A and B are shown apart, each in its own frame.
Chain A
Amino acid sequence: MEKRATFSNLWLAAALVAPQLLLVFVFFYWPSGEALYWAVTLEPPFGGSNQWVGWMNFETVFADPKYWNSVRVSVIFALLTTALSLAIAVLLALFVDRRLAGHQIYKFTYFIPYALAAPAVGLAFRFIFAPDAGFVSAINRVFPNLWNPALDGTDALALIIMAQAWNMAGYNFVFFLAALQSIPRTLVEAGAMDGAGVLRRMRDIQLPLITPTLFFLVIINITDSFVNSFGIVDITTNGGPARATDLMVYKIYSDGFQGKDYSLAAAQSIVLMVLVVSLTFLQFRFIERRVHYS
């Protein structure tokens, strides 16, 4: 006897799955196929006769030190934004979870940043952190030239890291809070009765129990920083100064749309896609096993 629930009517099954498959095909496989085709040809901006060039576009990409610079910047950006926004979010969540006075208001306000589109975040940070005119210019009056993202690459990178981390913190906060609230109260209360203080309970009971959420958020944050950071970079730094914030996704945009070199951009986006897919695969395959679920 068949134990699993199956459709005896295959046509019905196919019809039910079809809309989803169609969406995936139109919005993922088709564009990806097109990008792959452009990546192995030279595509003139206005279309027309593209010529087969094999691996040449990929060779050009990998031989370019500016490309490796963008990889380096992207990795630093991914690691630091993820660490920063998760750390902030978990702290906020732990304290809101303690149900101190006004925690409902905090819960609401902490989530708001995620509702903002990346370009809006970028614009806000650009104004706040403008070295001459922003709020931060007060620091520059005390310590001249301490902060200048327009000229100092490290400052610029710090600026977009803060913007992205701030943007994602609200999202992470909601997940952490949900995870914390799903921990049985009895565990925390038992810890309290055994004499564990607040910090001790957080470290030894609550944090270990939310590691599955942590793992999920790490992947989401890294992926998001690879593909979704365009708006912030475009508004605040334009990839500068001197390519200090030239993330991979921004380089694809500037080579493809500003430079009109569609083939070079297509080759880079294929590389980025392979990278994101394999990163996700690696994490699920090897790291997930070590995470303690129970």
Chain B
Amino acid sequence: MTRVSFLATAAAVALSAGTAGAAERIKFEYWYGLTGDLGEVMAKHCQLFNESQDKYEAVCTGQGGYDKAEQNTIAAYRAKQHPTIVQIYDAGTVNFMLSGAIYPAKKFAEDYGLQVDWDGYFPGIKNYYATAGGEMWSFPYNSSTAVFYWNKDAWSKIGKSEAPKTWAEFGEDLKALKAAGVECGFAFDFDTWQNLEQFSATNNLPIASLDNGYGGLGAELVFNTTAFVDHMKDYKAWLDAGYAKIQTAQVGKNMVQAFADKSCASMITSIANHGTVKNTQAADLNWGVAMLPVIDAAARKNSLVGGASLWVMEGKSKEEYEAAAAFLKYVTASDTGEKFMVSNTGYIPVTTAGFEFLKAEGFYADPKYAGREIAIQSLTASEVGPLSRGIRLGNFTSIRAQLRSELEAAFTGQKEMQVAIDDAVKAGNDILRRYEQTYKGAALP
């Protein structure tokens, strides 16, 4: 892995040396976590920035994954070799806020004359990356949310032309689909992002006390006492009845592949997969996306943002920061930033201005992209409340991993669902208490 990233660095340096020409360009480092097709889009975005002006040069290095980007940045920071800007995923937000290693976005923008309309971000996106006081510490970049993907032909077999609005309706549909001969009505995996986090937000259920952790590091997990438990019991019942299937890479096909090749009729995943499904689908797959089903359709709350934001790190020179400011301006602008990202990937615009800009251009009328506005609808389905704002828990990736293991145990019949989720909460609370102790005396901004 080290060798790979070294080679990648070398390649990036060689590439940029080839295109730059002028030696007096001010260089700065940018590390990103996107991989595969998305990584190529990211690299292209860097290249476009470098070609758009001749004063600055972004040296962009892919780190081979979001988690690797965070790990490598931490290691690099400890060795004082960290980049100026780094792309960090949603779950790493708390670590970076408490790190003491970053230059808060709002302050950076003021110091380096970057014009940002902080209220222009969609509230669901803004709140996720802002402090409890509402001040943004990073720049939202590639953003997504979870949506319901459904096979319209499968649903027409049971005489329906609309996606289910509630979970109860969805349960009925699955039963009918099975009766109509659909082998797999619903593909799911153990990813907690859609199953716990988005479910809890859209139904206004708490994941942890103190407003999901925004109120301080003393928060305790509570999702073993909410409707989440019954929701997972429903999944288990669907699995046992043969209505739904578990699709992970270990099984051989992940959810997206199983949906795209028509073997499963629905799934819940990020809108970022919209492009992937479009590019890899079976030719005659007639599909669409819809907002997630909820428990009570009248009480729907907004879903949570996923994806990553850009963090400026401390300890760099004034020149590097000026270059970084120019880069941020370029990659977050409606035309050169948001439009580029949105049209080359399945991500969504992060500002109302960006959304309006794309709409005015007729972007969402294009059949290739039609349906993606559902994600914006879902993100803005309600006013952002204390429980649909986001999740601010220390070491949240570990908590996700704990829940994932326990769900695996429950879905394979080794444990009762309630016992498994209780165990995940207990283990998760131990993680939170260790985190609190590690940051003794520190307070969440």
Contact = CB atoms under 8 A, between A and B. Distances in A.
Contacts of B2: none
Interface string B51-78: 0000000000000000100010010011
12 contacts: A46-B101, A60-B434, A130-B251, A131-B251, A132-B253, A134-B252, A150-B248, A150-B251, A151-B408, A153-B412, A257-B71, A261-B398
A242 B78 CA distance: 34
B440 interface: yes
A118 B407 CA distance: 28
A260 B253 contact: no
Given A47-B78, A259-B395, A240 B253 contact: no
Interface string B418-445: 0000000001001100100111100000
B246 A260 contact: no
A254 B401 CA distance: 9
Given A241-B408, A242-B409, A259-B397, A137 B252 contact: yes
Contacts of A243: 405, 409
A66 B427 contact: yes
B395 A126 contact: no
A118 to B, nearest CB: 13
A283 interface: no
A85 B430 CA distance: 39
A45 B74 contact: yes
A239 B427 CA distance: 17
B280 to A, nearest CB: 15
Interface string B91-110: 00001001111000000000
Contact of A260 (B95, B101, B427, B440): B95
Given A46-B101, A48-B100, A254-B398, 13 more contacts: A45-B99, A47-B78, A132-B252, A132-B253, A148-B251, A151-B408, A238-B250, A241-B405, A241-B412, A242-B406, A242-B412, A254-B401, A261-B398
Interface in A251-267: 254-255, 257-261, 263-264
A181 interface: no
Nearest to A255: B398
Chain B interface residue number, banded: 35 or more
A258 B252 contact: no
B225 to A, nearest CB: 22
Interface in B240-281: 246, 248, 250-253
Contacts, number: 98
Contacts of A45: 74, 95, 99
Interface string A8-26: 0000000000000000000
A149 interface: yes
A256 B252 CA distance: 28
B411 interface: yes
Nearest to A51: B440
Contacts of A259: 395, 397-398, 401, 431
Contact of B74 (A149, A152, A237, A260): A260
B414 A242 contact: yes
A169 interface: no
Contacts of B431: 259, 261
A45 B99 CA distance: 8
A132 B251 contact: yes
A249 interface: no
Interface in B93-149: 95, 98-101
A133 interface: yes
A47 B98 CA distance: 11
A151 B409 contact: no
7 interchain residue pairs of minimum CB distance: A132-B252, A150-B250, A242-B409, A130-B252, A133-B252, A259-B398, A242-B408
Nearest to B258: A132
A126 B427 contact: no
A149 B412 contact: no
Nearest to B407: A242
A258 B250 contact: no
B97 to A, nearest CB: 11
B85 to A, nearest CB: 17
